[in-house]
Structure 1
Amino acid sequence: MRRRSLLAASALPFATPAALAQGGDFPSRAVSMVVAFPPGGQADVVARPVAAALERHWRQPVPVVNRPGASGELGNASVARAAPDGYTLLMALSSLAVLPEAARLFGRAPAYELDQLAPIALFTADPTVLVVPALSPWRTLEEFVAAAKARPGSISYSSAGNYSALHVPMAMLATAAGLDMLHVPFQGGGPALTALLAGQVQALSSGPGPAAPHIRDGKLRPLACWGAKRLPEFPEVPTLIERGFPEAEYYIWTGVFAPAATPAPVREALRAAMAAAAADPELRRAVSASGNTLDHRDGEAFAAFFRNDSARLARAVQRIGKVE
């Protein structure tokens, strides 16, 4: 009996994290939250208060790891290939569903497939906002569209990269309105916003969170949003749908994913922790202050949302076609 007890004790240090997690000890160490973009973009803005709330709940570190590159493809793929033990998570944007479809459009093998990632919890799902510098000559969407039509190729806009969550909505508008604009891709939403503020480009489809402080400070002017209804934060800003572009509907959502092979008990523990984080008063204040709307969903509710949005975005990519 004593020998068997000693053997069992000596085996504990070599137990896998997943095995320990199934025993109810998850997490027993730091849990990394990967953001596939540089700091300052929509995913980063949401990931940081979520990570802080999880740290309070778990009493374990939850570092946010920015891993930018290839419009988010590199960071997304790194989590898809990570050990399925719950210790590496992804705070993804809606572009997660777009990038594999875009790769196939060009005849390339995708860096990851959607079935390699398991949806855990949705946190926000806001429409992007068309913003221009406050000193620009355009005060309405109609003026912006008229200028783009009058001078094809002359109006530039930044994005987080080809087929990113900031590029697709602008491509939708260009297709719907028959516009020819100059696309200037960056490695993330933060750099794309910085370029707009610095006057390097003239427009941006931004997540509401990163843009909100600059709108309030009078540095940026919102012209329209891509939602089915107006944003509560900016009720005076019209939707593209109500301005005559019914196809231009897009939501930049943020959600947490784990590698698909993560054991069910670990996924359940993660979902419970995300629900606790979503109820955290400090997280709620931080999300609201950032200009986003908390929209927590998990389980089948998030899975169904992800399936439906992925299918809609795949059709949008086909309409946009190849973007070099």
Structure 2
Amino acid sequence: MTVKSRLFGAAVGAIATLALAGGAIADEYPSRTITMIVAYPAGQGTDLAARYYAEKLSDALGQSVVVDNRPGAGGNVGTASASREEADGYTILMGASGTHAMNPSMFKDPGYDAADDFDPVAATIVIPMAISAHPSIGVSSIPELMEYAQANPGAVDVALPSVTAQLVLELLKDEGAPLNGINYGGSAEATAAVLGNQVPVLIDTLGASRRHFERLTPIAVTSPSAASSLPELASVAEQGIDGFSVTAWNVLYVLSDTPDEIRERLRDEMRTILNDPATADGMRDLGFELSPWMEREELEAWEQGERDRYGEVIRAAGLDGR
């Protein structure tokens, strides 16, 4: 056998070995517990959805998928820590519009590269934000909130548990509402401040807010129109501010160097879960809207488009590069 023939045979053998190894990885995965990192506190919208999908993935994969909350710095702490984990499929991230579309523009150095460090597996939900108020201020609509804030300039504080909530606030301020934002560590802290009448207004996800609507007055949702989970609550746009739209979202991510076979296994399982009618019902029960399924290239293009879109809004609001 010539040297050339031996080299060719070795190359073919190496390719075959890699192909078999890839198949073995897919067949063996998962063989132990998977950690799903959530960069927000327990009880926040992303956390609520993550726990639902973690349970469904546990059933589908035959291994436990446990949620690990790592909050801080608007989602930067948990997302940065996820970016430093092994790219073996045993650490996955339930990312959000905050961590992957907003923070890259809002922070000079969030501690990770949203585009390069992670690969999207599946978009899971769209999250309408909700604006609500303590009953003591007597407002129940956007026009009433605008009028109240203008009559009490500098005196109307708003509890903000996330960067998405802050963006909603800045857009309301652009419409002439003199509101003051107060940042909190998460939904539980922000909601407690409003329930305790320490702060009069709350901006948070609809899923986290609506359980408190017996004690808080719902004012509006920030999606273009009313949410299917609460159709009687009109949107900001429907109440007179044309074009107003801010919706959060969640996407399940793996680290960018995760083997293709593992990423595709997770995509296959998530496709099945998302196509189950019970999942749409479960998301509506939590106050969310189910994301439409997107193939990989479509998902990557959509995600980059969201990063570009929110980047423009953030720069226009002067929130960039903190």
Counterpart check, 1:249 vs 2:252: no
- Aligned counterpart for 1:204 among listed residues 202, 206, 210: 202
Counterpart check, 1:171 vs 2:175: no
- Aligned counterpart for 2:65 among listed residues 62, 68, 74: 62
Distance in 2, matches of 1:244 and 1:193, equals: 26
- Aligned counterpart for 1:220 among listed residues 216, 220, 229: 216
Counterpart check, 1:98 vs 2:102: yes
SS in 2 for 1:172: helix
Contact 2:229 2:285 in 1 (8 A): no
Structure 1 residues 85-134: Cα deviation after superposition (integer angstroms, max 9, x where no partner): 11111112211121121113xxxx33111221111111111321111124
Structure 1 residues 150-197: Cα deviation after superposition (integer angstroms, max 9, x where no partner): 222211111125xx122111212212x122222111112332223222
- Aligned counterpart for 2:56 among listed residues 53, 58, 61: 53
Report the CA distance between 1:63 and its aligned residue. Answer: 0.7
| Match runs of 1:261-300 below 5 Å | 261-280=257-276, 283-298=279-294, 299-300=296-297
Report the CA distance between 1:282 and its aligned residue. Answer: 5.6
Structure 1 residues 40-84: Cα deviation after superposition (integer angstroms, max 9, x where no partner): 100011011110111111111111000011111011111222211
| Match runs of 1:53-202 below 5 Å | 53-96=56-99, 97-104=101-108, 109-115=109-115, 116-161=117-162, 164-175=163-174, 177-202=175-200
| Partner amino acid, structure 2, of 1:125 | V
- The change in CA–CA distance for 1:305 and 1:221 in structure 2 (over 3 A counts) is farther
* Counterpart residue number, 1:13: none
Structure 1 residues 239-278: Cα deviation after superposition (integer angstroms, max 9, x where no partner): 2223332353111111111111212211111111212332
Contact 2:95 2:252 in 1 (8 A): yes
Q: In angstroms, what is the RMSD of aligned CA positions?
A: 2.1
Distance in 1, matches of 2:134 and 2:276, equals: 35
Range 61-70 or range 144-153, more displaced: 144-153
| Partner amino acid, structure 2, of 1:52 | E
Structure 1 residues 14-52: Cα deviation after superposition (integer angstroms, max 9, x where no partner): xxxx96863421111111111111111000110111101
Report the CA distance between 1:279 and its aligned residue. Answer: 4.0
Contact 1:155 1:202 in 2 (8 A): yes
Contact 2:124 2:251 in 1 (8 A): yes
| Partner amino acid, structure 1, of 2:118 | L
Distance in 2, matches of 1:219 and 1:266, equals: 45
Distance in 2, matches of 1:191 and 1:297, equals: 34
| Partner amino acid, structure 2, of 1:196 | V
Structure 1 unpaired stretches of 5+: 1-17
Considering only CA atoms, is the larger Rg found in Structure 1 or Structure 2?
A: 2
* Counterpart residue number, 1:8: none
Q: TM-score normalised to the size of structure 1?
A: 0.85
Q: TM-score normalised to the size of structure 2?
A: 0.85
SS in 2 for 1:297: coil
Range 46-55 or range 263-272, more displaced: 263-272
Contact 1:125 1:295 in 2 (8 A): yes
Counterpart check, 1:313 vs 2:317: no
Structure 2 unpaired stretches of 5+: 1-20
Distance in 1, matches of 2:74 and 2:194, equals: 18
- The change in CA–CA distance for 1:309 and 1:209 in structure 2 (over 3 A counts) is same
Report the CA distance between 1:301 and its aligned residue. Answer: 3.6
Distance in 1, matches of 2:154 and 2:243, equals: 22
Paired-residue identity, %? 27
Q: When the two structures are aligned, how many residues end up with a matched partner?
A: 298
| Partner amino acid, structure 2, of 1:288 | R
* Counterpart residue number, 2:14: none
- The change in CA–CA distance for 1:29 and 1:19 in structure 2 (over 3 A counts) is farther
